[in-house]
Amino acid sequence: MKRRSLLLGAATLTLSQLAAGCDSRPTLKIRSLKNAVPAQIVSKFSRDIKPSPILQVTQQGQLQELFALLQQWKQLPEGNDRADLVMLGDYWLSQAIRQKTIEPIDPAQLSNWSQLPQKWQALVRRNDVGQLDAKGKIWGAPYRWGTTLIAYRTDKFKSLGWTPQDWKDLWREELRDRISLPDNAREVIGLTLKKLGKSYNTQQLDKVPNLKTELAKLHAQVKLYSSDAYLQPLILGDTWLAVGYSGDFLPLLQTQKDLAAVIPVSGTALWTDLWVKPASKEQVPLMEKWIDFAWEPRIATQLSLLGKASSPIIVGMNSADLPEDLRANPLLLPDAKILAKSEFLLPFGDAGIEQYRSLWQEIRQK
CATH dotted code for 13-145+271-333: 3.40.190.10
Same fold, 13-145+271-333 and 147-269+347-364: yes
* Domain edges within the chain: 13-145+271-333, 147-269+347-364
Amino acid at 239: T
From first to last of the 366 residues of the chain, give the pLDDT tens digit.
445 443 333 334 444 444 434 567 899 999 999 999 999 999 999 999 998 999 999 999 999 999 999 999 998 866 678 999 999 999 999 999 999 999 999 999 999 999 999 999 999 999 999 999 999 999 999 999 999 999 999 999 999 999 999 999 999 999 999 999 999 999 999 999 999 999 999 999 999 999 999 999 999 999 999 998 999 999 999 999 999 999 999 999 999 999 999 999 999 999 999 999 999 877 788 999 999 999 999 999 999 999 889 999 999 999 999 999 999 999 999 999 999 999 999 999 899 999 999 999 999 997
Pairing type for strands 137-138 and 54-60 reads unpaired
CATH architecture label of 147-269+347-364? 3-Layer(aba) Sandwich (3.40)
At 87, which helix (H) or strand (E)? strand 85-89
Separation CA 274–CA 60 (nearest Å)? 15
Residue 276 near residue 43 (C-beta atoms within 8 A): no
Contacting residues for 354 by C-beta, under 8 A, at least 6 apart: none
Give the global pTM: 0.91
Distances (CA, A) of 283 to 83, 106, 324: 11, 11, 39
Distances (CA, A) of 4 to 31, 60, 113: 17, 12, 27
